[in-house]
Amino acid sequence: MSSPCPTLNQTATCSAYRATRRHHNDRTIHGCARFRSRTMPVPLLSMSYQPSHDIDGPNFQRDLAFGLEGEQIIRDFLDALDGGKFEVKYDRYRNGRMAVETEQNPRNEGWKLSGINVTEADWWVYLFAPGSFIIVEVARLKRYLRANYSLLMKRTFAAKSDNPAKGFVLMPNQVQDLMTNELYD
């Protein structure tokens, strides 16, 4: 009898893998004990060493230009905040996941676009806990959602209320990908 699969990458000890020759990195969640409660596959991120991310060595002019570019991005962000062009979402469950609403059905009168689909904000602020939040440009979030549509967990929120909503749930590793992957720049 083998122990439950200890990680996404260690298939040797996973009995479900031996039975089906399929594993988590096939984007399939099967019945191994560690992942039984998951309802949706989560794409794996590669966190391996990338030499292209190394600093070449000191270059004051290049470093200064990069720093000034960062300062301008923050100035633009603060200007947008001053103009009220941000939307704040608060995670009451504190589970590291990020919910992004796309539709709602007020008073069960029919589904209408909402949330990310209709926002006029430039910045999306997601508050995970008091003093812990991320801020992402709305355009970047939309690029991420379009690029990963088939991988994302779609669900209905507050289904039994008088204002159910639909949207995506981003897992913590997906939030990290959103924030760091240059594909969404």
pLDDT tens, position by position, 31-80: 344 433 344 444 455 567 777 777 777 888 988 998 999 999 889 888 87
Q: Is the pTM of this model over 0.85?
A: no
Task: Write down the pLDDT at residue 52.
Answer: 76
Most distant CA pair in the chain, distance: 61
Q: Are strands 98-104 and 165-170 parallel, antiparallel or unpaired?
A: antiparallel
Rounded CA-CA distance 108/171 in Å is: 28
Cβ atoms of residues 184 and 147 within 8 Å: yes
Rounded CA-CA distance 28/42 in Å is: 9
Rounded CA-CA distance 5/24 in Å is: 10
For 97-128, the pLDDT digits (tens) are: 999 999 999 998 999 999 999 999 999 999 99
Task: Write down the pLDDT at residue 55.
Answer: 75
Residue 121's closest CA among 104, 140, 138?
138
Lowest mean pLDDT among 3-7, 15-19, 63-67, 164-168: 3-7
Task: Write down the pLDDT at residue 7.
Answer: 37
Rounded CA-CA distance 129/104 in Å is: 25
What's the mean pLDDT when you consider all of the chain?
Answer: 78
Task: Write down the pLDDT at residue 59.
Answer: 86
Task: Write down the pLDDT at residue 83.
Answer: 81
